[in-house]
Amino acid sequence: MAVLARMVACPLAIEIRSGAIAALPGLLSDGRISAGGHVAVVVGPGQGEEVAAELRPKLANAEIHPVSGGTVQAALELVESLRESSYDAVVGIGGGRTLDVAKYAASQAGLPMVSVATNLAHDGIASPVASLEDKGHKGSYGVHIPIAVVVDLDYVRRSPAEQLRSGIGDALSNLGALADWELAAEDRGEPIDGLAAAFARSGAESLLRRTDDLGTDGFQRTLAEALVLSGLAMAVAGSSRPCSGACHEISHAVDALYPGQASHGEQVAVGSLFASVLREDGLVEPLDAAFRRHGVARLPGDIGLSAEQFSAAVAHAPSTRPDRYTILERLDLSESEVGARVDRYIDAFDR
């Protein structure tokens, strides 16, 4: 008999609303994740600690594990702590670094992980990928997808606007990543997973032309859903392909050449717009308009790079993901050609 359906890994529960964190104990119990609240609560500095304090009276059997820094070493130390006791699950609370450490450690310890996001700066909220630093170099590690995802808009509302702008850049870059995937299909016969593409595209498209302020509940809910759908797209594809193209190659190159320059989402936004210009596709105008509307980085100067530095990053970008085919690999520009394209790009959009 022919296979009539496929199984797709996805969270058992997704809660995106105001007051969602207060309902976490019930979610753990009703979702049969941890009936008695025997969980390891992993918190980072800042809002994560505040959320843990709010939950402590309701999760009397939970143990708090503070972590700092998004490194492989921090994750491995957490793994050892998890193995010293018996837990039903890991609950990661905080921003991207904390969640990535918790996801990696939970996977290594063989425990389900609940992702509780206090900001919307990136698409790792529900993804099967942990981005961690090891000896000064950032790498991506495959992990189990979170068993549940919680985004409390009350906490998101208090996060800096820069984090929301970073999330916008990461979510909208899906459109360019999908365009690069299509190039790979045309030039190399690389298969495209239609379901993964649909998840990645629908999340980005829902955000692309929204005109309400990024501080509104409606906008933040749409952004959160777009980031969650990005995570599901990666889970379906079994890789970051539907959400990572030339834009991410450029961001990885910036990290390698000029570490600590800007947030991941800001770098991806600039890389995404530049890559769209290289592809000469229909994304240029709507992307530029969306980034302008919400104050998202568009030019190298917006992320603290000169034209020469950005050109160096673009030239270095293909080496960051040798297995990935994008507009950068198709054009195979020389260093001088890259510099000329970057100069024209800045002249055209610096207005």
What pLDDT is recorded for position 1? 52
| 35 contacts: CB under 8 Å, gap ≥ 6 | 28, 29, 88
Q: State the fold for domain 13-156.
A: Rossmann fold (3.40.50)
User: What pTM was estimated for this model as a whole?
Assistant: 0.94
Cβ–Cβ < 8 Å for 122, 71: no
Residue-wise pLDDT tens digits, 37-58: 999 999 988 778 888 888 888 8
- Quick count: other Cβ atoms within 10 Å of Cβ 30? 11
Q: For position 194, what pLDDT does the model report?
A: 97
| CATH class given for the domain over 161-349 | mainly alpha
Q: What is the pLDDT of residue 136?
A: 78
Contacts of 347 (CB under 8 A, 6+ apart): none
Tens-digit pLDDT profile for the chain (351 aa)? 566 688 888 999 999 999 999 999 999 998 789 999 999 999 988 778 888 888 888 898 999 999 988 999 999 999 999 999 999 999 999 999 999 999 999 999 999 999 999 999 999 999 999 999 998 788 889 999 999 999 999 999 999 999 999 999 999 999 999 999 999 999 999 999 999 999 999 999 999 999 999 999 999 999 999 999 999 999 999 999 999 999 999 999 999 999 988 999 999 999 999 999 999 999 999 999 999 999 999 999 999 999 999 999 999 999 999 999 999 999 999 999 999 999 999 999 997
Convert the pLDDT of each residue in 65-102 to its tens digit. Answer: 999 889 999 999 999 999 999 999 999 999 999 999 99
| Parallel, antiparallel or unpaired: strands 39-43 and 89-94 | parallel
In the chain, where the domains are located: 13-156, 161-349
pLDDT of residue 46: 79
Predicted confidence at residue 341, as pLDDT, reads 98
Give the residue among 237, 223, 216, 234 at the shortest CA–CA distance from 265.
223
